[in-house]
Structure 1
Amino acid sequence: MTTVTTTSTVADDAGSGFRRRLLDALATCIAQDGYRATTVADIVRVARTSRRTFYEHFSGKEACYVALLSDANAEMIRRISSAVNPKADWETQIRQAVGAWIAASESAPALTVSWIRDLPSLGSAARELQRDMTDAFVTMIQRLCDTEELRAAGVGPLPRQLAILLIGGLRELLATTVEDGGNIGEVSELAVRASIALLGPRSATP
C-alpha cells in the first residue's frame, strides 16, 4: 500500500516539530534561569526559530508554559502507570509507582519545582490546568489502587481525599528537596515508605 504525503501532512509534521522545539526550549530555559526570568526571546533563541513561529503556536509565554506542563504531566502519568505490575503484591505495586514518580521528577527537577511554585501564581488558564492535572493524578492513583491484589489487601478502592494527601505530600517533598540543593533520588526510599504507610491496609474508609 502506497502512502501519499500531502502538502497539508508535511505542514502538520513541520508544525508539530516546531511546537516540540519551542516546548523543549522553554524547559531548557526554566532549568537554566527559572520560569519568571525566561522571556519569549530566550525561548526562540534556544529553539533557534523566530518570534513569528512562536506566535503561530502560542499566544504568549504563559500559553507555552501551560502546554509544556500539560505534556509533561501526561508523560509522567504514562510512565508511572506502565511501571506498575498489577499482579505484584500491594507493597511492590506502591514501590513501583512511587519509584517511577521519583524517576520522572528526577529527570526534570527544575520543571518539578516550577510546577509547584510558579503555576499557582499565574492566570485562570494555569489554575484550571493545575486542577486538571491534580484530577488526572487522582484518577491514576485510584485506578492503580483498584486492582485485585490491592483490594484483597485492604488498600483499594482509594478515597479521593487520601489520593490528594499523597499527591500533595510527594510534590512538596520533591520541591523542597530540590530547593535545598538535594537530589530527588536521595528521598526515594523515604517517599516509598511514607506512601506505603499512608496507603497501607485499613479496616475502614477514612
Structure 2
Amino acid sequence: MKQILIVEDEQQIGHFLRRGLTYKGFGVSVVGSGEDALTHISERKPDLIILDVMLPDMSGFELCRHLRSNGYTNLPIIMLTARDELVDKVAGLNSGADDYMTKPFAFEELVARIGAALRRTESRDQQSQRIVVGDLELDPSSRQAWRAGEELILTKREYDLLELLARHAGQVLTKEQIFEYVWGYDSEAGWEVIKVYVNYLRSKLNAGGKPDVIHAVRGIGYMLRTV
C-alpha cells in the first residue's frame, strides 16, 4: 500500500483528502505544519507528499526546498493550494515540486496526478537499479561497470553502448536502435563506427582472456549473451 503524507493546516480539507484517498486504497497521514511534516518524514518516509503552500510555520515552498536539498530528491511532491497566480505556480515548480494543483480542485484529477507521479518515480527507480548479466554488473546512477568484480574504465559512448546491450540482454538490437540510443537521431555515425565501438568494448570486457559476451548477428546488429 502506497503511503501519502498530506501537509495541510485546514482540518476540513485534510479530513476530506484522508477519507477520499483512503477509499482509493492509499495509506494516509495528515499533519498541519512544516515541522510536523519533517518529523513525520524522518520517522516514516512516505511514497508521496501532498503539500499546501500556506502553512503556519513555514511556506510550502520552503519545505519543498528543504526536502530537496536534504536528500529527498526522488520523493514525489504535489502542491495543492489556493494560490493560483502564475508566479506562485512557477515558484512551486522551481522549489522542487513535481506538480502544482490549485483549489478548488477535482478529486479524481488529483488521484490521476498522484498515480502519474508514482509511476514516474517507479520508472526512475527501476532505471537507477543495478543491472546484472552473468558476471557483468552496471550501476546506472554512477555510470560504472564491472566484469567479474573488476571495474571497467569506459568512455561515455562505451558505457552507453554497454548499458543498452545489458538492458536488453538476450535480445538482438538493430543498428538503428543502437544509433538512436547511443548517438541520437541526428548523428552521422555509420555502421562502421558502431563496429569500432563494439571492438573497443570487447577489448575491455574480454581482458585477461574472459569469454566474449557480445554476439554479432550478421546484417542486423548485436546482442549481449546472457550466459
Same-fold call, TM > 0.5?
A: no
Greater relative CO, 1 or 2 (CA 8 Å, sep 6+): 1
Q: Rg bigger for which structure?
A: 2
TM-score by length of 1: 0.29
Q: Give the structure with the higher percent helix.
A: 1
